[in-house]
Amino acid sequence: MAFINVNGIKMHYIMNGEGPDIVMVHGLLGNLALWHFKIGPALRKAGYRITTLDMRGHGYSEIAPSGYTSEALAADLLALLDALEIQSAHILGHSYGADVCMHLALLHPNRVKTLLALEPGLPALVEERKRDHWGGWTYWVGRLKEAGFEVPPDKRSDFRYLLKVSLETPKFYGPARGLPRKRGRLLELINNTTLVSDYEVVGSMTLDAVRKIDTPTLLVYGENSYFMGSYEFLHKNLPNCTPVLLPGGEHFGPLEQPDMIIEHVLDFVKQE
């Protein structure tokens, strides 16, 4: 395992392959293994140097008490690029990791050749997702019910509660479906850091700022994603955006529809 000091923490990363750089960022409570199931190996085989990382507090990277806003995590990403002497790269992120990548493209556009954004939620739209009728709550509560957990009505839109309960269930997606989760460090991350509150911090990524991101952007969502509100805003307001909806897809495309994502990513980066 490779580690490097980044903004005061020890960050875990993996780099392999040769060619133009693609740097890949997982989502909230995930880790870099997301990419090594299929997408990373396919992109490396296609002639790219692949770098994956565990974000601050995730995977094997050090847990810090704070620093989990998308802007702060983008600063970690920038520091990693600097430490690895990657001057510019195609930047690929999923979910909250895509928000982090967007923040990097906003603040340091010269470091981002293309922005490959899979299912960004966009913190500036978090108030819309706090409403009880947001489809994501219904979907999440439904999956927990399938796993045998009945969510009380007053908790069905309680983000912190649902995160903790989800850690009690087997994994829902991909080749690890049905396997137990490693709860210890993730509970520490939820309980002992600013992660949950930082997730909602907009910072410099306001809705107006989104319109200033001129980086060539591939925007990918599952057609049944519960983040379609974010998709509708982003594909209309990112000035240099190629939108893609994956047929039958939901939120976890990297695990459920990796072949489609690989095809779209390769087609896009080769054009740029």
236 CB-contact burial (10 Å; exposed 0-12 / middle 13-18 / buried 19+): exposed
pTM value? 0.95
Q: Do 216 and 272 contact (CB within 8 A), yes or no?
A: yes
Give tens-digit pLDDT for 39-82: 999 999 999 999 999 999 999 999 999 999 999 999 999 999 99
- Tell me the DSSP string of 138-179: HHHHHHHHHTT-PPPGGGTT-HHHHHHHHTTSPP-SGGGTTP
pLDDT above 80 (res 247) = yes
> Options 3.40.50.12780, 3.40.50.720, 3.40.50.1820, 3.30.750.210; which CATH number does 2-129+199-271 get?
3.40.50.1820
Q: What is the mean pLDDT of residues 4-11?
A: 97
pLDDT above 80 (res 143) = yes
Identify the band that residue 189 occupies on the pLDDT scale cut at 50, 70 and 90: very high
Beta-carbon contacts of 198 under 8 Å, excluding residues fewer than 6 positions away, are 66, 67, 68, 69, 72
How confident is the model at residue 225, as a pLDDT?
94
Q: What is the mean pLDDT of residues 200-228?
A: 96
The least confident of 172-186, 189-203, 208-222 is 172-186
Q: How many residues does the chain have?
A: 272
268 phi, psi to nearest 5 deg? -75, -50
Q: What is the mean pLDDT of residues 125-144?
A: 85
90 phi, psi to nearest 5 deg? -75, 130
Q: What is the mean pLDDT of residues 186-198?
A: 96
What is the residue extent of each domain of the chain? 2-129+199-271
How confident is the model at residue 130, as a pLDDT?
77
Percent of the chain with pLDDT over 70: 100
The C-alpha atoms of residue 167 and residue 262 are separated, in whole angstroms, by 29
pLDDT above 80 (res 132) = no
Neighbours of 107 (CB within 10 A): 18
The C-alpha atoms of residue 116 and residue 222 are separated, in whole angstroms, by 14
How confident is the model at residue 192, as a pLDDT?
97
76 phi, psi to nearest 5 deg? -65, -45
pLDDT above 90 (res 133) = no
Average pLDDT, rounded, for the chain: 95
Identify the band that residue 182 occupies on the pLDDT scale cut at 50, 70 and 90: confident
Look at residues 21, 24, 85 and name the one whose alpha carbon lies nearest to residue 13: 24
Angle between the N-to-C axes of helices 159-166 and 135-146, in degrees from 0 to 180, rounded to the nearest 10: 30
